[in-house]
Every structure is written in structure tokens, then in C-alpha cells.
Amino acid sequence: YLVFDWNKEIVAKVKKEWNDTELEKYLKELNLNQKALLYAAAQLRDPTKDELLRRMNKLLKEKNSLEIDGRQFTAIKGSLTKHFEALGKEELIPSQFTVDEYWDDEKSRYRINEKYREKIIKILNGEFK
């Protein structure tokens, strides 16, 4: 994406791709809630926040972990975004996008970065069996 610096110059911020080793190491170091968010998003196709939250809570319940609410979801998603920015890597789950053909309460969707969908499922599959 493009950002403006203080001198009003356009600076391109290039994000690096994840190689398999980096991705696996990164995913293994995440906490359970972060893993659940990425795994649920990789399993679902363009879910709403509520759909993603329900799937995450199902995964967390199976691990005898506490369920999360909408505010906690936002914090978890935000922490992942900060990680990606700090590492200079592509986001695995970019910020929500809008689907215009849905009603207002269902417009916001979450989409896993397709480049990494299958890898995320493969790496985290053992975590949520």
C-alpha cells in the first residue's frame, strides 16, 4: 500500500512473502486464540465477523479454552496485524473488506490471504484435531 511521509512524498511499502519455514515457525509461536482465528478464517470462505467468531469459539471450546467475544476478537485481529507490520510480511488475514450485495449487517467480511490458505490449514491442523 502507499503512505505519505512528512515531506509529502509517496513511499511504497513492500511487504515480503512468507517462505514455508518462516510461516510454520510464526504460526507455532502464536497463542491459541490467534491460531484459532487464522485456522477458522482459512477453513471458511469470506465469513462475517459473527461466523468467524462462532467457528473460533467452537475450536477453542474443543481445546477446553475460554470463548471470546467481539471485543476480544478485535484485539486478537489487531495483534496479528501489528505482527505482520513489524515483520514487514504480507498479512495472512488482511483487514475486513465489504461485499456490496449483502445487507448492512453482513457487509464486513474476512478473507484469508489465498496464497497461504492451504499452508495455514496444514500447519495448524494438528493443533485443532
Give 65-109 pLDDT, tens digit per residue: 999 999 999 999 999 989 898 999 999 988 655 555 544 555 678
For residue 12, what is its C-alpha cell?
511504497
| Residue 12 confidence class, pLDDT cut points 50, 70, 90 | very low
Burial class (CB in 10 A: 0-12, 13-18, 19+), 26: middle
Instruction: Give the pLDDT of residue 4.
Output: 52
The residues spanned by each domain of the chain are 2-128
10 pLDDT tier (thresholds 50, 70, 90): very low
Tell me what pLDDT residue 108 has.
73
User: Mean of the pLDDT values across residues 59-65?
Assistant: 96
Report the 10 Å Cβ neighbour count for 91.
15
Q: What is the mean pLDDT of residues 44-63?
A: 94
From the candidate CATH numbers 2.30.42.10, 3.30.450.20, 1.10.150.120, 1.10.10.10, the one assigned to the domain spanning 2-128: 1.10.10.10
CB neighbour class for 32 (10 Å; exposed up to 12, middle 13-18, buried from 19): middle
What is the 3-state secondary structure of the chain?
CEEECCCCCEEECCCECCCHHHHHHHHHHCCHHHHHHHHHHHHCCCCCHHHHHHHHHHHHHHCCCCCCCHHHHHHHHHHHHHHHHHHCECCCCCCCEECCCCCHHHCEECCCCHHHHHHHHHHHHHHHC
Would you put residue 69 in left (φ > 0), alpha (ψ -120 to 50) or beta? beta
